[in-house]
Amino acid sequence: MWHMTMLRSVSLVSLTAALVVGLSGCFGFPGGLLNQGSADPAAGGNASAEDALAGTTWDGVDSDGDSWVLEFQEDRTLGFTFNGDSYDDASDTWGVAGSTLTVSIVFNDGIATMSGPYEAGDSTIDLDGEQGDALWTLTIASQ
């Protein structure tokens, strides 16, 4: 009986260790989580598209007439200007998964998410925005 309990304990420890080692690799990919703890996670990043976008600035006017300037920073955070007011906070993030760019901005009244297709070298990006019940579109062009 003691031998059976010991065998189960050793098996449980081995299984737990294997799971910890296996799952820890899932969290090591840059861009694996978008806006950690504050917004919906995005799938792992597209390094070449992210590298092409990092350090660039884009601007446009959304379907509501609001003016945007988005600064895609190297550390995958986002500096932005919305209707003339500038913000640069670590909770505002961006990433590219596959061929989809996702931007997450934390406003006082909730998280705004914008996403749309992006490939390295694109000169414009069409984004669909959502914050609660509010929906909009935004086309941005590289500056």
Q: What is the pLDDT of residues 30-66, one digit of tens each?
A: 333 333 334 443 445 688 999 999 999 999 999 999 9
Give the model's pLDDT for residue 14: 44
State whether residue 118 is helix, strand or coil.
Answer: coil
Q: What is the pLDDT of residues 100-127, one digit of tens each?
A: 999 999 999 999 999 999 999 999 999 9
| CB-based contacts of 73-77 (< 8 A; 24+ apart in sequence) | 76/30, 76/31, 76/50
Beta bridge partners of 4: none
Per-residue pLDDT at 90 exceeds 70: yes
Give the model's pLDDT for residue 47: 82
Give the model's pLDDT for residue 45: 67
Cα separation, 32 vs 76, in Å, equals 11
DSSP string covering 33-96: SSSTTTS---PPP-HHHHHHHTTEEEEEEBTTS-EEEEEE-TTSEEEEEETTEEEEEEEEEEEE
| CB-based contacts of 83-89 (< 8 A; 24+ apart in sequence) | none
Look over the chain and give the mean of its residue pLDDT values, rounded to a whole number. Answer: 78
Per-residue pLDDT at 12 exceeds 70: no
Give the model's pLDDT for residue 23: 38
Q: Which fold has domain 47-142?
A: Lipocalin (2.40.128)
Q: Where are the domains of the chain?
A: 1-30, 47-142
**Position 7 confidence tier, pLDDT thresholds 50, 70, 90:** very low
Burial class (CB in 10 A: 0-12, 13-18, 19+), 46: buried
Beta bridge partners of 106: 111
Give the model's pLDDT for residue 46: 80
